[in-house]
Chain A
């Protein structure tokens, strides 16, 4: 169990640029989640995959956000035309199949939009 890894750890970008983050889940896990967390707040659900299928997406999520998990292994989260309000920590988590399985989080990607 090498844990969930996320890349990059930090990203600074200018407003209007596109950014892409990568998440490598624990290899045996078929569920993968993306969350966003701002200072002093709890993780906010963005989207969820079971294997390669994106099964849930937050209704609050802008169309500028898109996520993929093409082969059911690693996942990418892309933000197009970034805005200053997108600045946050983006957390990826994975779990076993099973609605009640605990989430294992990566260290996150901290995005700063200037």
Chain B
């Protein structure tokens, strides 16, 4: 079946350092979405990538979709304490099922 792995599982950074999480799928994806879940909260949609090699930016966040559409990354420049949370990639892997990756939990040390 489909597998969506994210690495690393956990990341601790000093405030101001950069952070990157990687999402890898065992199958080609039609699109990929990224969500952020704050501690005690629910997942909140960040962005969607559709095209091969697509790069999108949201302020300090840069999202990239791989050329083969099987992997994606999220990079945060100069992390802030407001970036704390778990970041998930997700996508419509088969049929109408919408699967989430394993997530990367980010801790930012002030």
Q: Which residues of A contact B (CB under 8 A)?
A: 33, 35, 40-45, 48, 50, 55-56, 58, 91, 93, 99-100, 102-108
Contact = CB atoms under 8 A, between A and B. Distances in A.
Nearest to B46: A102
B97 A56 contact: yes
B103 A45 contact: no
Interface stretch (B53-61, B69-77, B88-96): B88-96
B102 A48 contact: no
B48 interface: yes
Given A99-B92, A100-B31, A102-B33, A45 B97 contact: yes
A49 B41 CA distance: 24
Contacts of B48: 100, 102
Q: Chain B CB within 10 Å — which of A33, A43, A45, A104 has the most?
A: A43
A43 B100 contact: yes
Nearest to B88: A42
